[in-house]
Amino acid sequence: MKLLNIFSIVVVFAITFLSCKANNSSNNNNSTMTQTNTTSDNGRTKVQFKTTMGDFTVELYNETPKHRDNFIKLVKEGYYDDVLFHRVIKQFMIQTGDPDSKNASADAMLGAGGPGYNIEAEIVYPQFFHKKGALAAARQADSVNPKRESSGSQFYIVTGRIYSKEQLTQMQAQIANMKIRQILDTMVVPYRKEIMKLRMSGDTAAINKLSDELISKAQAEYDKHPFTFTDQQIKEYSTIGGAPHLDGEYTVFGEIVDGMPTIEAIEAAPTNRADRPNDDIKIISATIL
């Protein structure tokens, strides 16, 4: 996988990086949480949600214990009761968990609320990926959240769409290219002052040399852990569907085990320009089974 014609993007990053500041406030969950709940036959905890459009049940992965235990804690506290599905995108996902959505006015801007802490990323990839029905944690963008910490309460359920094997091959190449760019963005930071000086002096030869060096280093770093879809991913994405472009970027910590028709009904709801359903869709209650 070779990355070409991207140094201009790197330069833009170098310029804009100076004005970017990460928001690190309230990024630790210091509460003590233990799992003392009834589990399913495979040892996983199940949570049932009752909504104004029907019920669904999720199963939580034990391989993501911080997310599992936090989710259980919030459910027990009744945190999700009366919370809206505030973001719904067809052939993609449905999102909820913003406490500010409770009794929110129709024109309220939603999606920034939470319990006041984030959760350390637990990206168990490729074991867990964004197949249809995957339960995953929402989070802020990498630009302000480089550690990819999850929102303390907001989550989404993947609906996605079905992809052909040819489309997955093309997407795999695109994701690999994106990951190289992410590596390159990190590598260019120490050189940002040098890049600015070279641009000001018009030293094209030096810029091209530095570009080649950084691209080569980024490629070598990427080659240590190249991105490929597993056979299981290809099978799932080409049959039931999902959102493969999110793989490895967000923490997937559970999946739907009952009530997919409810998820599909929520996904089909008409929405406004902000992707909020025109008619409120609310979580009535959440219960540990």
Mean pLDDT score, 271-276: 96
- What type of residue sits at position 106? A
Per DSSP, the three-state class of 191 is helix
Q: Which domains does the chain have, with CATH numbers?
A: 46-162+240-288 (2.40.100.10), 167-239 (no CATH)
Are 123 and 132 in contact by the 8 Å Cβ rule? The answer is no
Instruction: Indicate the range of 16-20, 59-63, 259-263, 282-286 predicted with least confidence.
Output: 16-20
**Where in the chain does DSSP place strands (E)?**
46-51, 54-60, 85-89, 93-96, 118-119, 134-137, 150-151, 155-158, 252-258, 283-288
Closest-CA residue to 111 (of 155, 146, 149): 155
Mean pLDDT score, 260-264: 98
Residue located via tokens 């990190």 = 186
* Predicted local confidence at residue 84, as pLDDT: 98
pLDDT tens for 153-210 read 999 999 999 999 999 999 999 999 999 998 999 999 999 899 899 889 999 999 899 9
Binned at pLDDT 50, 70 and 90, residue 40 comes out as low
**Checking phi first, is residue 112 left (phi over 0); if not, alpha (psi -120 to 50) or beta?**
alpha
Per DSSP, the three-state class of 86 is strand
Are 164 and 241 in contact by the 8 Å Cβ rule? The answer is no
C-alpha count within 13 angstroms, C-beta hemisphere, residue 237: 25
CA–CA distance, 127 with 247 (Å, rounded to integer): 10
Residue located via tokens 């490729």 = 126
The percentage of the chain sitting over the pLDDT mark of 70, rounded to a whole number, equals 86
CA–CA distance, 26 with 33 (Å, rounded to integer): 18
Residue 45 makes CB contacts below 8 A (sequence gap 6+) with 35, 37, 38, 39, 59, 60, 68, 72, 288, 289
* Predicted local confidence at residue 143, as pLDDT: 86
CA–CA distance, 120 with 251 (Å, rounded to integer): 9
Mean pLDDT score, 265-274: 97
pLDDT tens for 195-204 read 899 889 999 9
* Predicted local confidence at residue 10, as pLDDT: 39
- For residue 140, pLDDT beyond 90: yes
CA 47 to chain centre: 21
Q: What is the pairing mode between strands 118-119 and 93-96?
A: unpaired
Residue 173 is encoded by which pair of tokens? Answer: 């190449």
Mean residue pLDDT of the chain comes to 88
pTM for the complete prediction?
A: 0.80
- For residue 1, pLDDT beyond 60: no
Are 13 and 7 in contact by the 8 Å Cβ rule? The answer is no
CA–CA distance, 135 with 58 (Å, rounded to integer): 8
Check whether the bond before 99 is cis (ω within 30° of 0): no
CA–CA distance, 112 with 122 (Å, rounded to integer): 21
pLDDT tens for 10-35 read 333 333 333 333 333 334 443 333 33
Cβ neighbour number for residue 95 with a 10 Å cutoff = 22
